[in-house]
Amino acid sequence: MQQSYLYPQVYMVDGNPNLNPYVPGPAWALPTLKKKRKLDWRTMGTILLLNLVLLALIGLALGAVYLLELQKEIREMKQDNGDKGPYAEKIIGAQNITKLTKDLRTAAHLTGDLITAGSNPLVWDDRKGLAFTSGVRYKDRGLIVNETGIFFVYSKIYFRSHKCDPRKNLEHILFKRTNRYHKDVILMETSKKNYCSVNEGEWATNSYQAGIIRLFKGESIYVNVSDSKLVNFDETKTFFGLYKL
């Protein structure tokens, strides 16, 4: 008896008779990537606007910090000044003004003192009107330097009178006192003759001298004249001073 067999002989391991190894399985397709959309002008405009707003907010924040610091400085100035006087000059560029004050050049400008007319050396005013001292001391009719250096020294005397005496010379002397020498040292000297006429009556003349001089710490300078009674002590006509180069 002839037996028939199924061809081909296939045995299903998992017991699923419907699984045919010769039938191709389903194809797995990769997901397609979406193309990036190009930014249009509206999107770019929105981004630019947001950046500008962010910059504005940062600027406001920095301004607020600056105002707080400025208010703090104003309060400190008021405390240092005893709550007196205007603060406009301190508020505007306060740090620069402070630095300028610290770096102020050593200088002095003295004006004539009418009360002591008739004496030598001449007496000066170091506080009123145009007069001031900075880094220099005014004491006993002279200027005392606090540090060694090169100084520009000047002196101007305005002589006047209602009568003329041609026999009298007008002398104007600037000298210094120092521990390095036993006597006064003349720095500059002028002498005037024939400065008036008997027929003129009232007369006036100026004597001005200036020079660059090396002064050592502790040395002092003074001004002498031949007759202090002939000196006009107006602050714009007779003065004396120095500044460090």
Segment 85-133, tens digit of pLDDT:
444 444 444 444 444 444 468 999 999 887 666 678 999 999 999 999 9
What's the pLDDT at 82? 54
- Tell me the CA distances in angstroms from 58 to 50, 54, 63, 68, 98, one per residue in order: 12, 6, 9, 16, 30
Radius of gyration of the chain (CA): 48
Instruction: Outline where the chain has alpha helix (H).
Output: 41-80, 88-91, 94-102
Quick one: tokens of 31? 């997901």
Which comes out higher in pLDDT, residue 82 or 151? 151
Banded model confidence at residue 2, pLDDT cuts 50, 70, 90: low
Distance CA 28, CA 197 (A): 129
Q: What is the mean pLDDT of the chain?
A: 78
> What would the mean pLDDT of 46-74 be, rounded to a whole number?
76
Distance CA 50, CA 56 (A): 10
User: What residue ranges define each of the domains in the chain, with the CATH number in brackets?
Assistant: 55-103 (no CATH), 104-244 (2.60.120.40)
What's the pLDDT at 123? 92
What's the pLDDT at 26? 57
> What would the mean pLDDT of 17-25 be, rounded to a whole number?
54
